[in-house]
């Protein structure tokens, strides 16, 4: 029997380019999930709130909790506007929120965007906080999207997301779903673009105009994270403490710096593709629009990299969190220990009823 759930997924990624909302119909029929993205929109952060998100990982918990409340009201306002404009009303909202802290080694993860306030202000059930239960049981709490990759896109050997960080998901020879972060992506590229007053490197033109500086390229590749085995995940704290200081210490012209950082990213991602042993990957995330990055990935990896229609490029993560929320609503597994390294599979998330 076919069962359809109408859910709005909310995603705020580490690249901090805005809040992605996607109202989706998710249907369970013949032992598989199907999806239809009905309407989707990205709401950019205003400068004041963006500044808070950039600095919040350095704040104390009292200030972070205040930001959690502020984001709850902010997200609720966006959701109400989105639903009014689209004329769509979901059964519930599944919110990833925005990751303020993510340091599983210290049992820390915090996705801001208060679920109780969102439920109160929208009049809809809200499911959020998908990561903390897994971190509490010794897992990475990330990545969570791979389960959705396998359920919604089984025709591909793997999925590669080029967001603030690049992450891969695939099924290994034992039939286990494996996924982990490979390297920074847009978070690093956008930081370099900002040196020229840009928010991003349009089509990768700046990178294409520069030359790779071997010494910096080698230094970045020696970062300890790349020699670690999975499960593993990256957070903004790692980027600020380990990656950013290296690129700030150099004396390169910006185009050469951009070319070197992009080549490093393409090298680490391609290394991960080779290690996974996959030949067909579905791409998603804003980095797909960087033509230079995609060209280098195709060249270095030799894999077939499939670029989907535009909605899926930008809203796949919001769609998948809608699915993860649906699985939680049904009391089913939505967090795999084989991916996160936790002790057991979980039906993770917190449900807030109005």
Q: What is the pLDDT of residues 207-234, one digit of tens each?
A: 999 999 999 999 999 999 999 988 898 9
Contacts of 232 (CB under 8 A, 6+ apart): 140, 180, 181, 225
The pLDDT of residue 248: 94
Give the pLDDT band of residue 47 (cuts 50, 70, 90). very high
Strands 32-43 and 125-128: unpaired
The answer to whether 135 touches 110, Cβ cutoff 8 Å, is: no
On the 0-12 / 13-18 / 19+ scale of CB atoms within 10 A, 169 is buried
The pLDDT of residue 57: 87
Contacts of 236 (CB under 8 A, 6+ apart): 14, 57, 99, 102, 164, 187
The pLDDT of residue 106: 86
pLDDT greater than 90 at residue 28: yes
Q: For the domain 145-310, what is the CATH code?
A: 3.30.420.40
pLDDT greater than 90 at residue 107: no
The answer to whether 236 touches 99, Cβ cutoff 8 Å, is: yes
Q: Class of the 3-138+321-327+343-352 domain?
A: alpha beta
pLDDT greater than 90 at residue 303: yes
Number of H helices, E strands in the chain: 14, 12
The pLDDT of residue 220: 98
The answer to whether 155 touches 206, Cβ cutoff 8 Å, is: no
% of the chain residues with pLDDT over 70: 100
The answer to whether 110 touches 142, Cβ cutoff 8 Å, is: no
pLDDT greater than 80 at residue 15: no
Q: In terms of residues, how long is the chain?
A: 354
% of the chain residues with pLDDT over 90: 86
Give the pLDDT band of residue 68 (cuts 50, 70, 90). very high
Q: Which two tokens stand for residue 230?
A: 């999975």
Give the pLDDT band of residue 44 (cuts 50, 70, 90). very high
The pLDDT of residue 120: 98
Same CATH topology for 3-138+321-327+343-352 and 145-310: the answer is yes
The alpha carbons of the chain give a radius of gyration, in whole angstroms, of: 19
Domain-wise residue ranges, the chain: 3-138+321-327+343-352, 145-310
The pLDDT of residue 236: 87
The pLDDT of residue 238: 93
The pLDDT of residue 287: 95
The pLDDT of residue 230: 81
Give the pLDDT band of residue 96 (cuts 50, 70, 90). very high
Average pLDDT over residues 38-61: 94
Give the pLDDT band of residue 237 (cuts 50, 70, 90). confident
Q: Which two tokens stand for residue 144?
A: 């969570």
Of the CA atoms within 13 Å of residue 168, those in its CB half-sphere come to 24
Spatial distance between the Cα atoms of 347 and 270, rounded to a whole number of angstroms? 32
**Chain segment 137-154, per-residue pLDDT in tens:** 999 998 899 899 999 999
The answer to whether 324 touches 334, Cβ cutoff 8 Å, is: yes
pLDDT greater than 90 at residue 307: yes
Contacts of 116 (CB under 8 A, 6+ apart): 72, 126, 352
User: 32-52 burial by CB neighbour count: b if 16+ within 10 A, else e?
Assistant: ebebebebbbebebeeebeeb
The pLDDT of residue 118: 98
Give the pLDDT band of residue 16 (cuts 50, 70, 90). confident
The pLDDT of residue 277: 95
Strands 108-112 and 92-103: antiparallel
Beta-carbon count within 10 A of 294 CB: 18
């Amino acid at each position: 029997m076919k069962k359809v759930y109408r859910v709005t997924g909310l995603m705020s990624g580490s690249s901090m380019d805005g809040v992605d909302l996607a109202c989706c119909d998710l249907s369970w029929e013949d032992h598989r999930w199907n999806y239809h993205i009905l309407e989707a929109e990205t709401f950019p952060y205003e400068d004041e709130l963006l500044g808070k998100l950039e600095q919040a990982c350095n704040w104390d918990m009292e200030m972070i909790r205040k930001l959690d409340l502020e984001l709850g009201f902010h997200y609720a306002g966006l959701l109400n506007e989105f639903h009014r404009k689209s004329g769509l009303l979901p059964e519930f909202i599944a919110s990833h929120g925005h990751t303020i802290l993510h340091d599983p080694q210290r049992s820390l993860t915090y996705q801001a965007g208060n679920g109780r306030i969102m439920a109160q202000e929208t009049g809809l059930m809200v499911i959020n906080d998908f990561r903390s239960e897994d971190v509490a049981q010794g897992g990475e709490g990330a990545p969570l999207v791979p389960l959705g990759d396998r359920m919604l896109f089984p025709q591909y050997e793997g999925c590669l997301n080029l967001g603030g960080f690049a992450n891969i998901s695939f099924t290994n020879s034992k039939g286990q779903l494996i996924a982990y972060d490979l390297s920074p992506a847009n978070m690093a590229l956008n930081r370099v673009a900002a040196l020229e007053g840009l928010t991003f490197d349009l089509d990768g033109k700046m990178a294409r105009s520069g030359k790779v500086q071997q010494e910096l390229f080698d230094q970045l590749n020696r970062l300890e994270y790349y020699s670690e085995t999975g499960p593993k995940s990256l957070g903004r704290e790692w980027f600020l403490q380990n990656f950013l200081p290296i690129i700030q210490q150099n004396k390169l012209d910006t185009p050469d710096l951009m070319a070197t950082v992009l080549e490093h990213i393409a090298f680490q991602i391609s290394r991960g593709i080779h290690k996974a042993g996959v030949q067909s990957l579905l791409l998603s995330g804003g980095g797909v629009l960087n033509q230079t990055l995609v060209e280098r990935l195709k060249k270095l990896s030799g894999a077939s990299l499939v670029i989907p229609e535009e909605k899926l490029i930008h809203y796949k993560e919001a769609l998948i969190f809608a699915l993860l929320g649906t699985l939680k609503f049904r009391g089913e597994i939505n967090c795999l220990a084989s991916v996160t390294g936790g002790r057991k599979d979980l039906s993770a998330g917190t449900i807030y009823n109005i």
